[in-house]
Amino acid sequence: MTAHKKQQLRFVWIPLCMGLTHLTLKGPLVLQPFFDQYRWAHALMLSVVGTLVSLVVGWQTIKTPLMFMYSCFFKPLGKHQNLQGRLESFYQDQASIYDQSRASLLRGRKTMLKLCAAQLKNQMANSIHQGKPIWVDLGGGTGWNIEQMHLSFPVDQFEHIYLVDLTPSLCQVAQNRFAERGWTNVTVLCQDASSFQASYSLEGRVQLVTMSYSLSMMDMYYPVVDRVQSLLAPEGIVGVCDFYVSGRSPPSNKSSSSHHNRHCNWLTRYFWQMWFDLDHIQLAPGRRDYLEYKFGTIKSLNRRNHFIIPYLIQIPYYVWLGCAKSSPSDATLLPLLEEDDGSSWTSSKSGTSSPTYTPHAALVMAYQQRRKEKQWRLDYDPDSPCHTQFRSYIYAFTWEDPRVDLEFLNLNKDDVLFVISSAGDNALEYALKGPKRIHCVDMNPCQNHLLELKLASISSLSYEDFWRMFGEGRHPHFGTLLQDQISPHLSGYAFQYWSQHSDRFSHKFYKTGYSGLALSIFEWWVRMNGLSNAVQKMCHATTIEEQQAIWTEQIRPSIFSPMIRKILNNPMFMWNALGVPMNQMNMFLQECTTQEYIENTLDPIASHSLLSTDQYFYYLCMMQRYHPQSCPSYLTREGFDTLRSPGALDCFRLHTDSILNVLHTLPDNYLTRLVVMDHMDWFDPTDHDELTREIQQMARALQTDGQVYWRSAGTKPWYNRIFEENGFVVEPLGVRQQNKAIDRVNMYASFYRGTKKTN
């Protein structure tokens, strides 16, 4: 319970406690006979006295909630000739306590302002516009927004700020606030938002327009939104925070990221709309729909305010950032999104499950192009069943060895890669070699959210913050970094996800996701067997001999206990914790038992190379973090600086779709390399029509002599013959043998390459 709520409750409990405590005590001597006979009167009198004392002592504390309740629920508004008269009648008695009384009711304002500030900073860093920006705060009231924005984007960095509000009493508070601050570049205009006039024309010159819980209070909102559109400069942004209720059906712009968590149930829709209507606050969905119709959505959050009584009272509110529409039509914007290498940002050619590339998405991406912002993520439909089945990422880290990949890939600046996103670690390793394009594909949106976060963090954070997030797996200020620095570089989808899961970096990031379950079980098993010291020593051993001895003598004897065997033989554990589907499990069970497979995997590791300096995969599993000397290359200072250099991350394109659908979108003879990991093990060998179509599309999209790389749990995957039937020459690059590792992970039984030889 917060201190503010405790203070409020104090004035209920003090009189009651005083009465009950003194129920058995004597009153003044002159009234003693009376109180002896009527003890309840004694208690009542002390309760009244206690109440009066509480009111005198704590008037300043209860003044704000009492005035707020009176003004909002009891004070008659009366009849007024215009909107200004009604607003002044409503606010004049509470102008002095407005900010204190709205702190817990008007949620999301700080988030909206921080997001706007981050966008402005990013524009200034990229030299998008010359000079200082102009900001217009419509319905700015007491000036709280401007004072709050000063913490993120100092007022003196604006050319001018205009606070527009129709209520004289609130404007007077704002005037006094700015005078105390000595801000001479802030002007308060007590005028209508749709028709206000400054000392000079602002049309097409404003870089930022904000509306904080004001759009819902404007009777005629169409002209206000239209006026905002006319004010914005081409690079301008709009920030809005307000209450809302959704309609019975979703908005037409369904692929927009603003749709996530937007729906309200029927009780919420009707109750809050009627409740706020008593104070002339309009929550009908038409206002927000029109706003999003007139502007492109850059960022959007739909939240619930658990006001006063958590989880019982849930008031819907949203935070939204939009961009101005450019003068060309949406159709003419689409050619801007064509790639210089022949690929396209547009919709899938397959016509199957890939979403239509909407004009809205084209608008936002054109906005990003004009502002030189990173454009990694392609639009997708977040409500498609193939995506909604995933609530989190499966892999918080990638479990394939990129060093071996790079030995055979032999990448150069002309290569165009097609890879599975996973956690993005290997894709970032490939990017260090400077290829022309890397298409990252994953059906699970959360895997691309994770990769996108890494790309955005490299672009916006210092190396120290980046290392704390993904090296140590812990950053106590991630939520602040997300809003203040990372947000301009994230798509709306990824920003929503990480806003909702900002606690992922509060403790141990690598214990999140489904792969984190395996790490948690391993940690529990180590403690149960008293092996914590042995694991520590093995992870920090300085010689292979020392590492091998610890494994053989202390850890290995405990790792294959009967209980562990049962866990590893459970398909549910193999899928949810290790990401091993049933079809893949059946592949290695045809050649060996689960225990034999794990023995063949782990036994050679201790003698391969040191965990402390090279085998960061197992170091991470044991320590739940990386070590500066044992980590992926992109997490080193040198790797980070390379990826941070101008244009280094421009090669990335993130597709949230199936491999087959994305391949359909690519031109013939376009790709040079495909790295598809072990995903073909997941197909059913008795029904492989989809895999056959996928391999045929690989052959179509690959250049002659282009190559496909895959790993498998089987030494001779059944689908090798499908590659051969479609013009590939298949060769093994590594087949696991007993006591010999094929790479630093050694989790897969084989590593293959297919080279396209015919068209």
> pLDDT tens-digit profile of 625-664?
999 999 999 999 999 999 999 999 999 999 999 999 999 9
If phi > 0 it is left, if psi is from -120 to 50 it is alpha, else beta; for residue 383 that is alpha
What is the model's pLDDT at position 440? 97
| Structure confidence at residue 301 as a pLDDT band (50, 70, 90) | very high
CA 489/CA 654 separation, integer angstroms: 14
Give the model's confidence band at 407: pLDDT under 50 very low, under 70 low, under 90 confident, else very high.
very high
Q: What's the pLDDT at 20?
A: 38
In this predicted structure, what is the pLDDT of residue 504?
94
Residue 712 reports pLDDT greater than 90:
yes
pLDDT > 70 fraction of the chain, expressed in percent and rounded: 78
Q: Which residues lie closer than 8 Å to 41 by C-beta, 6 or more apart? A: 34, 35
Going edge to edge, which strands form the sheet with 186-189?
186-189, 160-164, 134-138, 206-212, 232-243, 315-323, 296-305
14 has a pLDDT exceeding 60: no
164 DSSP β-pair partners: 138, 189
CB contact burial 38-55 (16+ within 10 A = b; e otherwise): eeeebbeebbeebbeebe
**Cα 493 to Cα 501: distance, rounded to the nearest angstrom:** 13
Mean pLDDT computed over 178-198: 95
Q: What is the DSSP letter of 626?
A: -
Model pLDDT, residue 249: 73
Are the beta carbons of 440 and 452 closer than 8 angstroms? Answer: no
Query: How large is the average pLDDT for residues 569-587?
Result: 64
Residue 326 has a pLDDT of 61
pLDDT score of 366 more than 60 = no
Grade residue 563 by pLDDT with cuts at 50, 70 and 90.
low
Which pLDDT tens digit goes with each residue over 611-627? 999 999 999 999 999 99
Range from 35-44, 137-146, 450-459, 513-522 carrying the lowest mean pLDDT: 35-44
Kindly report which listed range (147-161, 249-263, 675-689) carries the lowest average pLDDT score: 249-263
Q: Which two tokens stand for residue 576?
A: 């949810």
Task: Establish how many alpha carbons lie within 13 A of residue 99's alpha carbon, considering only the half-sphere containing its beta carbon.
Answer: 15
Secondary structure element (H or E) that encloses residue 437, with its range: strand 437-441
pLDDT confidence tier of residue 574, bands split at 50, 70 and 90: low
Kindly provide the residue ranges of all beta strands, DSSP E only, lying in 220-366, ordered along the sequence.
232-243, 296-305, 315-323
Residue 440 in tokens: 């990252």
Is 46 in a helix, a strand, or coil? Answer: helix
Query: Would you say how long the chain is, in residues?
Result: 759
Which pLDDT value is given to residue 65? 63
Q: What is the mean pLDDT of the chain?
A: 83
Could you tell me the two tokens for 223? 């002209």
pLDDT of residue 544: 95
What confidence score (pLDDT) does residue 311 get? 73
pLDDT average, residue stretch 370-398 = 82
Higher pLDDT, 434 or 355: 434
Q: Which two tokens stand for residue 70?
A: 């009176």
Q: What pLDDT, on a 0 to 100 scale, did the predictor assign at position 104?
A: 83
Residue 60 is encoded by which pair of tokens? 């300043």
Which has the closest alpha carbon to 186: 210, 176, 195? 176
Cβ(424)–Cβ(377) under 8 Å? no
Task: For residues 207-222, give the mean pLDDT.
Answer: 93
Coil, strand, or helix at residue 753? strand
pLDDT grade, residue 62 (50/70/90)?
low
CA gap 691, 682 in Å, rounded: 10
Instruction: Count the helices and strands in the chain (H runs, E runs).
Output: 35, 14
| pLDDT band at residue 10 under the 50/70/90 scheme | very low
Pairing of strands 206-212, 232-243: parallel
Nearest to 360 by CA among 424, 418, 295, 314: 295
Angle between helices 168-181 and 144-152 (to 10 degrees): 40
439-455 mean pLDDT = 97
Quote the pLDDT of residue 567.
61
In this predicted structure, what is the pLDDT of residue 30? 43
CA distance 690 to 693: 5
User: Structure pTM?
Assistant: 0.84
pLDDT value at residue 599? 86
Domains located in the chain, CATH noted:
3-82 (no CATH), 96-325 (3.40.50.150), 529-623 (no CATH)
Q: Other CB atoms closer than 10 Å to residue 470's CB: what's the count? A: 29
The pLDDT of 415-433, averaged and rounded, is 97
Confidence of residue 101 (pLDDT cuts 50, 70, 90): confident
Query: With 0-12 CB in 10 A as exposed, 13-18 as middle and 19+ as buried, what is 592?
Result: middle
Give residue-wise pLDDT tens across range 142-164. Answer: 999 999 999 999 999 999 999 99
| pLDDT, tens digit, 9 for 90 and up, residues 512-542 | 988 888 888 888 888 988 999 999 999 999 9
* 97 vs 159 pLDDT, higher one: 159
Does the pLDDT at position 676 exceed 90? yes
Residue 247: band (very low, low, confident or very high) from pLDDT cuts 50, 70, 90: confident
Mean pLDDT of 731-754: 93
Structure tokens at 648: 């280094």
- Quote the CA–CA distance of 286 and 291 in Å, as a whole number: 8
Asked if residue 28 has pLDDT above 60, the reply is no
Stronger pLDDT, 523 or 571, i.e. the higher one? 523
Please choose, from the candidates 561, 569, 601, 578, the residue with its C-alpha nearest in 3D space to the C-alpha of residue 517.
578
Whether 264 shows a pLDDT value over 60: the answer reads yes
Q: What mean pLDDT is predicted for residues 410-434?
A: 97
What's the confidence (pLDDT) of residue 350?
38
User: Cβ contacts of residue 503 below 8 Å, gap of 6+?
Assistant: none
Place 2 in a pLDDT band, splitting at 50, 70 and 90: very low
